[in-house]
Structure 1
């Protein structure tokens, strides 16, 4: 039988838990998987001799990263048979001031960013995140991954090139993003197809994740007319039953959509030069269980 944890062990782990969760979530994209990894890290931490460790944070970050890599390797095989596009489970907050939407989740956790990370191998993803998001040096990363520093540098370089190629970064003021989404939410709620189309780039793309559980697009949609038409058709299919609500989705302002009083999707938007250039719609009901219901 395992001895109970000391108050010092519990305090130390509790202080590091948000960071460990943010690592695991960025690696896995599913809240339950991330929480399982953090719990496994706790069990290993408790089963070790914490007092003998030189750095509790370094030890726990390393264990969490390795556990996440192992789990992602398993999940990768499952995702190859996933029906349609795979998007992360959204982290939804209704209040911008909540701690979860602050420091740990405000940096590089957007749906668009997570979408690109799916193209990386588990070890590339870990090396890239540790270096570019969590600012670890290459010696630390090499120790975490049991690889040479040169190998880690190469992995990070390849991953960085791919991320920059597939996800151009747009620096948009929060107020601009908020105002555009407020107008879009009103237009979508009114089924105003022309107004929605005017707010989108001609090359806008839409990616939807239904996971085979609900009807969804198996191919990426392109073009303002087609994307605006998706919103218009839903409003006309369920007149006066579609409600939009603003929310923080993975640290960025997005929309929750309810149909007949039930959560239907969480939606993330990429904005550039005053227009919507990408829409990510998470419809798989398994990924919406933690989304607040309409009040």
Structure 2
């Protein structure tokens, strides 16, 4: 068995330079920042315990190790999720990025709640193959090596994933002004009970989902339809949130809000537009376990 040696500065730098990329990959696969951080830490420990001198491509080795660890975690997580109470939503994050503007826009769009929810319809291997090839721009040969499969299988995995993701309608990223206009209309409906502007910005089949994880009160089934949704926001949410402070933030690359009661964040609000610039999905994360990592993070 190889006996690990202390990491040299160059070996440590090699890992740290990859940390944002590994974190971004892990978060997209797992839908949880805390789980992603665990996966990246496990990858670091494996890196520290391997014969690094024998590794010709450190970045490729790290991506492979992290992906495989995430797939293991994803499979066990999917089994545990069968007992999850109510709707499951990804853990919201605030993103701090140093990428150039064009690349940042491309990457942050793949961090949106709508995109992460679309990924949920994929198998773990389809999800990984799609992310590695289409988002992180790896060749099919590299994807095949990472997933321990053939290039033909890689192409099939990515093709199936594109078919599933491509059928979704909640992929349009509205302008920041349109996002802020909806956020203002939603807040007005909650705080003042006026729904005129909100109803005009909702798709007819808009849906509101809330994730309480069985730990705090939250609706167990999604509310579907613009009229029922408006009624819920102006009545129920008005009662729940009338005393809350609204903190406007960037959540998963889009305008959103944190609802705070004193020093405690009780909810994170985000949404997704359709191609007609109407809001198709509203996401409310209430599970306190998913509201503990809302400081800005640097991931790719």
Asked if these proteins are the same fold (TM beyond 0.5), I'd say yes
Please list every run of at least 4 consecutive aligned residues from structure 1 whose deviation after the TM superposition is greater than 4 angstroms: none
**Structure 2 vs 1, CA of residues 167 and 76 (structure 1 numbering), >3 Å: closer, same or farther?**
farther
Q: Does 1:108 align with 2:110?
A: yes
Look up the match of 1:24: 26
Q: Which residue of 2 aligns with 1:173?
A: 175
1:99 paired to 2:102? no
Write the distance in 1 (CA, Å) between the matches of 2:242 and 2:213.
Answer: 27
Structure with more relative contact order (C-alpha pairs < 8 Å, separation 6 or more): 2
Give RMSD over aligned pairs: 2.2
Q: CA deviation at 1:10?
A: 1.1
Mapped partners of 1:291, 1:54: distance in 2: 37
Show the counterpart of 1:139.
Answer: 141
Q: CA deviation at 1:274?
A: 4.0
Q: Which among 220, 223, 228 is matched to residue 221 of structure 1?
A: 223
More displaced stretch, 264-273 vs 123-132: 264-273
Q: Using the alignment, how far apart are the partners of 1:290 and 1:100 within structure 2? A: 20
- Residue from 56, 60, 63 that aligns with 2:62: 60
User: 2:152 matched to 1:154?
Assistant: no
203-212 or 228-237, which deviates more: 228-237
1:261 and 1:56, CA in 2 relative to 1: closer, same or farther beyond 3 A?
closer
User: 2:161 and 2:55 mapped to 1: Cα distance?
Assistant: 32
Counterpart secondary structure, 1:270:
strand
Q: Which runs of 5+ in 1 are unaligned?
A: none
Gap change, CA 1:145 and 1:229, over 3 Å in 2: same
CA drift of 1:173 comes to 2.1
In 2, the alpha carbon distance for the partners of 1:179 and 1:193 equals 13
Match of 2:129 in 1: 127
What number of residue pairs does the alignment pair up? 288
Q: Is 2:280 the counterpart of 1:277?
A: yes
C-alpha distance in 1, partners of 2:223/2:238? 20
Per the alignment, residue 264 of structure 1 pairs with 266
C-alpha change, 1:175 and 1:166, in structure 2 (3 Å) is same
Q: Distance in 1 between matches of 2:89 and 2:242?
A: 28
